[in-house]
Structure 1
Amino acid sequence: MTSFDPHSRLAILAAEYAARAEAIRRDLARAHSADFAEQAQQRQNDEVLEALLAEATAAQRQVALAKMRLAEGSYGQCLRCGQPIAPARLQAMPAAEFCLGCADLPA
C-alpha cells in the first residue's frame, strides 16, 4: 500500500482541473457554423460545456481551499464538527471539507 501525500495529490488535482477548464474554454471560444440548424446544436453543446466549466471551476476552488488548509495545518479536520476526516475519505476525495457524518447533513 502506498502512503497518501496530500501535497502531491492536491497538486495533481489542481493541474487536472486547470487543464480541463482550459480545454473547455477553448471549445467555447471556437466559431459557430453559419448554418442555423447546426448553430442551434452547437449552442446546446455550449450550454453543456458551460455547466462542465462551472464544475471544473468549483473543483479548482475546493482544491485551492484544501491547499490552504494544508498550509495552515487544519487539513483533514471537518469544517463542521472539527473531528478528523477518515484517511480513506481523504484518499478518495483529497479536497474533502467534511467528515462522512457531516457530509450527509443538509447545508
Structure 2
Amino acid sequence: MLDHAHYAHLIKARLQELDARMHEVDDELGEPKSPDMNDQSIDLEDDEVLEGIGMAAQKEIALLNLALERIKDGSYGICKNCGAQISEARLAAVLYAPLCKDCAANH
C-alpha cells in the first residue's frame, strides 16, 4: 500500500521548487534589455529558452496538481489505463505518473 501522505509531501515540495523557478524566470524576463543590437539578439534567444523553461514548469505544475487530486480521491498510484498498481520506483521518478510503466510505454 502506498503511503499517500509521503507522496503528497514530495509533490508539494516539488511544487514549491517549481514556484521558485517560475519566479526566477519571471524576474529574468523582466530584466531590461541592452541597447546594443548584438546583445539584444542574445537576450532574445535567452528569453526564448526561459519561456520554454517556464512553459515546462507550468505543465509539470498542472500534472502535479492532478496527482494531488488523485491522492485526495484515492486513485493515486493506480494506472488510469489498466488499473494496475504503479510501481513505487516509477512514482519516485515521475511523481505525477498516471500510467504504469507498461501502459506508458505503449501509449
Q: TM-score, normalised by structure 1?
A: 0.91
**TM-superposition CA deviations, 1:37-88 (whole Å, max 9, x none):** 1001100110111111111111101110000000011000112222110111
In 2, the alpha carbon distance for the partners of 1:83 and 1:17 equals 29
**1:92: Cα distance to partner?**
2.0
CA distance in 1, matches of 2:34, 2:56: 27
Is residue 2:24 matched to residue 1:27? Answer: no
Instruction: Find the residue that maps to 2:106 and give its secondary structure.
Output: coil
C-alpha distance in structure 2 between counterparts of 1:85 and 1:99, whole Å = 5
Written as runs of structure 1 = structure 2, the 5 A alignment for 1:1-107 is 5-106=6-107
Over aligned residues, Cα RMSD in angstroms?
1.4
TM-score (norm. length: structure 2) = 0.91
Partner amino acid, structure 2, of 1:25 = D
- How many residues align? The count is 104
Amino acid at match of 1:45: D
Distance 2:60 2:102 in 1: 21
Over the matched positions of the two proteins, sequence identity in percent amounts to: 31
Offset at residue 25 of structure 1 (A): 1.1
Distance 1:18 1:94 in 2: 16
- AA of the residue aligned to 1:82: G
Q: CA deviation at 1:22?
A: 1.3
For 1:49 and 1:91, the matched residues in 2 are separated by 27
Q: Which runs of 4+ in 1 moved over 4 A?
A: none
